[in-house]
């Protein structure tokens, strides 16, 4: 926390709107619509996962439909496919952005069409804040007329060619879970350029009540709306976003400087200036003798927390029966990668201890 979060929470108390209605929700949605630009319509929800679930509902994904999903991601990208009893088809990453590989994506689409069913959606992720290859992926989406669900849960503030992540999909998703660049505790948004999607998302997120004087329900809805307290936190957090992005990118520069001459470690960085990452997490790939387990253990001994990379979905027990297209680059990234401390509040002491460990181990 850092901005005026408490003040906005007080507004909610003063107005007595402790519910899924209230001015914080309306204002938070407006803040985000302004921030994202590009005629975005935003619906505030209880989580990013809920937003992905609703995105698939709005695209009429039904039982037994194919949905293509990036394999290298957090499990929340894929689970809503199973909520709808649809069939996930996983696609590998390319080496530039670690996101959807256009060639493998096209192979997956052709496979589904051969099976007699064009996929209903493509879930494209901006992992660790790095935008996916938007031009190539959108071109494939257009060629086969398959909509994109953009999972930019981790990528608020990132851009591709100056356009913000969260505005590339037919439907896009950003998360405000506690671990993301800004947070509402739990929360997320669904974004589109279609006002019809916004009103439908609201209806589905509030139990899908019919327009009637009594409680009448013709279709299946959910309790997925963001509440007015969480949205108050979000309003305060939005005021800190630019500063947080600066700090995240400073962390990246710090790591870049540390490892630039190492042969054992490579920092994952934007392939060129078209890609502007919020560097939500800094990740490294280890080479030669240095294993992720060993480096992690040395960090742990020095009381520094690191994490492994996301384990790809095609390697997860939950998804092991699903089709996968690609050369398993994502599996190699998982085997050799490590996430380094990337908080916006790293202390000088913590930073110098990180430097010490890295300088000892990587040269
Ligand atoms: C966090 C995250 C989600 C889910 O968002 P929640 O708000 O935690 O439900 C989805 N996809 C990715 C890639 C994420 O990192």
45 lines ligand 1 (CB under 6 A): no
Using the 3D structure, point to which of 212, 238, 264 is the last residue of a domain: 238
Q: 2 pLDDT exceeds 90?
A: no
Residue owning the nearest CA to atom 13 of ligand 1: 74
Q: Say which CATH number the domain at 20 has.
A: 3.40.640.10
pLDDT at 66: 98
Same domain flag for 115 and 207: yes
Domain that holds residue 341: 241-359
Same domain flag for 73 and 198: yes
Same domain flag for 234 and 127: yes
Calculate mean pLDDT across residues 230-256. Answer: 98
Check if 180 is active-site: yes
Q: 317 pLDDT exceeds 80?
A: yes
Q: 361 pLDDT exceeds 90?
A: no
Same domain flag for 214 and 271: no
- As a three-state string, the secondary structure of the chain is CCCCHHHHHHHHHHHCCCCCCCHHHHHHHHHHHHHHCCCCEEEEECCHHHHHHHHHHHCCCCCCCEEEEECCCCHHHCHHHHHCCCEEEEECECCCCCCECHHHHHHHHHHHHHCCCCCCEEEEECHHHCCCCHHHHHHHHHHHCCCEEEECCCCCCCEECCEECCCCCCEEEEECCCCCCCCCCCCEEEEECCHHHHHHHHHHHECCCCCCCCCCCCCCCCECECCHHHHHHHHHHHCCHHHHHHHHHHHHHHHHHHHCCCCCEEECCCCCCCEECCCCCEEEEECCCCCHHHHHHHHHHCCCCCECCCCCHHHCHHHCCCEEECCCHHHHHHHHEEEECCCCCCCHHHHHHHHHHHHHHHC
Same domain flag for 106 and 152: yes
Same domain flag for 220 and 269: no
Q: 363 pLDDT exceeds 80?
A: no
Atom index in ligand 1 nearest the CA of residue 127 equals: 13
Q: 233 pLDDT exceeds 80?
A: yes
CA of 153 to the centre of ligand 1 (A): 5
Distance CA 175, CA 8 (A): 20
pLDDT at 277: 98
**What is the percent of the chain with per-residue pLDDT over 70, rounded to a whole number?**
100
Using the 3D structure, point to which of 190, 205, 238 is the last residue of a domain: 238
Residue 345 confidence class, pLDDT cut points 50, 70, 90: very high
70 lines ligand 1 (CB under 6 A): no
Catalytic-role residue among 117, 142, 180, 287: 180
pLDDT at 188: 98
Q: 59 pLDDT exceeds 90?
A: yes
Calculate mean pLDDT across residues 57-62. Answer: 98
Using the 3D structure, point to which of 223, 238, 253 is the last residue of a domain: 238
Same domain flag for 233 and 253: no
The number of folded domains in the chain is: 2
Give the tens place of pLDDT for each residue, 149-191. 999 999 999 999 999 999 999 999 999 999 999 999 999 999 9
Per the prediction, the chain carries an average pLDDT of: 97
Question: What pTM, to 2 d.p., does this model score?
Answer: 0.98
Residue 26 confidence class, pLDDT cut points 50, 70, 90: very high
Q: What are the CA-CA distances from residue 95 to residues 125, 271, 338 (Å)?
A: 14, 9, 16
Residues in the chain: 363
Same domain flag for 223 and 280: no
Q: 288 pLDDT exceeds 90?
A: no
């Amino acid at each position: 926390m850092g901005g005026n979060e408490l003040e906005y929470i007080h507004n909610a108390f003063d107005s007595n709107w402790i519910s899924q209605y209230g001015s914080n929700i309306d204002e938070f949605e407006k803040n985000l619509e302004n921030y994202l630009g590009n005629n975005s319509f935003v619906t505030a929800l209880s989580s990013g996962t809920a937003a992905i679930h609703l995105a698939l509902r709005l695209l009429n994904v039904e039982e037994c439909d194919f949905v293509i999903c990036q394999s290298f991601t957090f499990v929340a990208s894929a689970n809503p496919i199973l909520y709808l009893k649809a069939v996930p088809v996983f696609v590998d990453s390319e080496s530039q952005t670690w996101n959807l590989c256009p060639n493998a994506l096209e192979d997956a689409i052709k496979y589904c069409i051969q099976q007699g069913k064009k996929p209903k959606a493509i879930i494209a992720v901006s992992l660790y804040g790095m935008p996916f290859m938007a031009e190539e992926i959108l071109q494939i989406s257009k060629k086969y007329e398959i909509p994109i669900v953009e999972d930019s849960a981790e990528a608020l503030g990132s851009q591709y060619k100056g356009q913000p992540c969260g505005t590339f999909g037919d439907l896009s998703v950003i998360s405000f879970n506690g671990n993301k660049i800004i947070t509402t505790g739990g929360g997320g948004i669904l974004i589109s350029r279609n006002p019809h999607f916004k009103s439908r998302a609201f209806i589905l997120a509030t139990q899908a009540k019919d327009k009637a004087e009594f409680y009448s329900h013709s279709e299946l809805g959910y309790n997925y709306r963001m509440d007015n307290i969480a949205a108050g936190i979000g309003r305060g957090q939005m005021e800190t976003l630019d500063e947080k992005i600066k700090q995240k990118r400073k962390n990246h520069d710090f790591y870049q400087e540390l490892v630039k001459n190492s042969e054992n470690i490579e920092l994952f960085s934007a392939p060129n200036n078209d890609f502007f990452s919020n560097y939500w997490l800094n990740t490294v790939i280890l080479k030669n003798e240095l294993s992720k387990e060993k480096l992690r253990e040395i960090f742990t001994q020095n009381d520094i927390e690191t994490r492994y990379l996301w384990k790809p979905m095609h390697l997860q027990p939950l998804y092991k029966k699903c089709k996968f297209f690609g050369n398993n680059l994502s599996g190699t990234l998982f085997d050799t990668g490590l996430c380094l401390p990337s908080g916006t509040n790293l202390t000088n002491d913590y930073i110098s201890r990180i430097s010490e460990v890295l300088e000892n181990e990587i040269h």
